[in-house]
Chains A and B, each alone.
Chain A
Amino acid sequence: MDDHTIHCDIVSAEGEIFSGPATMVFVPAEQGEIGIAPRHAPLLTLIKPGEVRVQTAGGEEQFFWVGGGALEIQPKRVTVLADTALRARDVDEAAALEAKRRAEEALAGQIDKIEQAEALAELARAAAQLKLLQKLRKIKG
């Protein structure tokens, strides 16, 4: 790779968004937008929701919207780890509480009904198989 471009990857957990050489990348970091040129010092920071601009080697500019995430810079490489979900402390907290509540509910015996239904279905299936076997035996015998 020559010294005039920096390899830029924008990825999210649910897919790759951009990968290729760039001459300049602008990222909305948590403490303000930063511009990244090739041979930037190693830097690690979080980014906030906003626009990532990539100036490709051909001179055109591409825009990507990211909902936050993390940014890693190596002298020859920029990596934007974009979030797919909107993140906020309260929202995360609520999701955690919800998961916990579900766990308690599941353990409190709501499953019993499902289990009983499953067992009944299994029983019906077994009885039907038995019937068929008996019938077959009668015919063959």
Chain B
Amino acid sequence: MPGTKEIRSKISSVKSTQKITKAMEMVAASKMRRAQDRMRMARPYAAKIRQVIGHLTQANPDYKHPFLVERETQNVGIIVVSSDRGLCGALNTNVFKSTLLLMREWQGKGAKVSLALFGNKSVAFFRRLGAPVLATAAGLGDKPTVKDLIGPVKIMLDAYRDGSLDRVFVVHAEFVNTMTQKPLINQLLPVEPVKDDELQEMWDYIYEPSAADILDGVLSRYVESQVYRGVVESVACEMAARMVAMKAASDNAGKLINELQLIYNKARQAAITKELAEIVGGAAAV
């Protein structure tokens, strides 16, 4: 029976691949749930600090913090958040695509673009592009913490402070639902004013010790929390995308096995028929 052995070994190799993709699918599903929880946990802080910033931009401090002041844009910083590992569909590609569009848009306006890269995939991709990279953070894992982000974010904040960046964006994947993730561009600096209708009259905080110190602390934390949100959301997206990709892979492997099984059966049948014909032919000859 020529060929049947090869087909059989092919079937078993596809089967073992299917086992792996199924396992990856299930692992991604459970990790996604945990990542979504973390996303939810980060929400109250982001909402509260946004509220505080909203109050801040409506208050009238005698001191204007540079993070709140719009200035002419000559240098743009972009923080790109990607996953560390592949096998998650078009997730990273989509993020990179919208990053490239954003870069081109600002380059078209004559601005220079520098990058900060989060995640191995973005490091590998943007290294080829040759744009200046100010900071990277790779290998954040499935449970990123704010602590891991302070360093790279500080580089961007410092660059903004000393005037070598005039605008900072973050690009990350947004978790719409399990099936849909889309890239999201978010302006970090200057901080865009947030509206809060609750407080209308003219008023101001008491600042202890000084407005400058507090604003700096609060605004840095605000930016960090925004980046943290991006990173956590990216992890959830990565897991969801991987789950979907691995499900498709398992389904395809199943289809392939069915097809191979059919071919195998046909080949086997053909061999038997041939043998029978030979026996009958041999008997007739005698």
Interface residues of B in 122-147 (CB under 8 A from A): 123-124, 127, 133-138, 145-147
CB neighbours of A43 from chain B (8 A):
205-208
CB neighbours of A79 from chain B (8 A):
48, 51-52
Partner of B44, one of A9, A45, A70, A132: A9
Q: Does A100 contact B (CB under 8 A)?
A: yes
The complex places the Cα of A87 from the Cα of B199 at a distance, in Å, of 32
CB neighbours of B116 from chain A (8 A):
103
B218 touches A102 (CB 8 A): no
Interface residues of A in 1-48 (CB under 8 A from B): 9, 11-16, 19, 29-31, 41-46
Stretch of B100-108, B185-193, B220-228, B239-247 at the chain-chain interface: B220-228
A74 touches B55 (CB 8 A): yes
B146 touches A70 (CB 8 A): no
The complex places the Cα of A136 from the Cα of B135 at a distance, in Å, of 49
The complex places the Cα of A24 from the Cα of B179 at a distance, in Å, of 46
Closest-by-CB residue of B relative to A85 is: B147
Residue among B44, B51, B52 with most chain A CB within 10 A: B44
CB neighbours of B59 from chain A (8 A):
42
**In the complex, per-residue mask of B46-90: 1 if CB is within 8 Å of any chain A CB, else 0:** 101101100110010000000000000000000000000000000
The complex places the Cα of A85 from the Cα of B46 at a distance, in Å, of 16
CB neighbours of B51 from chain A (8 A):
79
Q: Does B150 contact A (CB under 8 A)?
A: yes
CB neighbours of B6 from chain A (8 A):
135
B3 touches A102 (CB 8 A): no
Q: Looking at chain A's contact residues, is the secondary structure mostly helix, strand, loop, or mixed?
A: mixed
Partner of B135, one of A13, A74, A99, A115: A99
The complex places the Cα of A65 from the Cα of B208 at a distance, in Å, of 21
CB neighbours of A29 from chain B (8 A):
208
Q: Does A72 contact B (CB under 8 A)?
A: yes
- The number of residue pairs between A and B whose CB atoms lie closer than 8 Å in the complex comes to 151
A13 touches B136 (CB 8 A): no
**In the complex, per-residue mask of A113-141: 1 if CB is within 8 Å of any chain B CB, else 0:** 01100000000000000001001101110
A111 touches B124 (CB 8 A): yes
Query: How near does chain B come to A55, taking the closest CB pair, in angstroms?
Result: 21
Interface residues of B in 225-275 (CB under 8 A from A): 225, 228, 263, 267
B10 touches A132 (CB 8 A): yes
B213 touches A46 (CB 8 A): yes
Q: Does B154 contact A (CB under 8 A)?
A: yes
Q: Does A61 contact B (CB under 8 A)?
A: no
CB neighbours of B145 from chain A (8 A):
14, 84-85
A102 touches B158 (CB 8 A): no
Closest-by-CB residue of B relative to A112 is: B127
CB neighbours of A90 from chain B (8 A):
none
Which B residues are within 8 Å of any A CB, using their own CB? 3, 6-7, 10, 38, 41-42, 44-46, 48-49, 51-52, 55-56, 59, 116-117, 123-124, 127, 133-138, 145-147, 150-152, 154-155, 158, 199, 203-209, 213-214, 217-218, 221, 224-225, 228, 263, 267
Supply 5 A–B pairs (Cβ within 8 Å), ascending by A.
A70-B52, A72-B55, A81-B48, A96-B155, A111-B123
Which A residues are within 8 Å of any B CB, using their own CB? 9, 11-16, 19, 29-31, 41-46, 69-70, 72, 74, 79, 81, 83-85, 87, 92-100, 102-103, 106-107, 111, 114-115, 132, 135-136, 138-140
Contacts A14-B45, A44-B56, A72-B55 known; list 13 others, CB within 8 Å. A11-B48, A13-B46, A13-B146, A42-B59, A42-B206, A45-B209, A81-B48, A84-B145, A85-B146, A103-B136, A106-B138, A139-B263, A140-B263
Please list the 10 inter-chain residue pairs (A to B) with the smallest Cβ-Cβ separation, ordered nearest first.
Answer: A95-B151, A85-B147, A99-B151, A99-B152, A15-B41, A99-B135, A45-B208, A44-B205, A16-B44, A11-B45
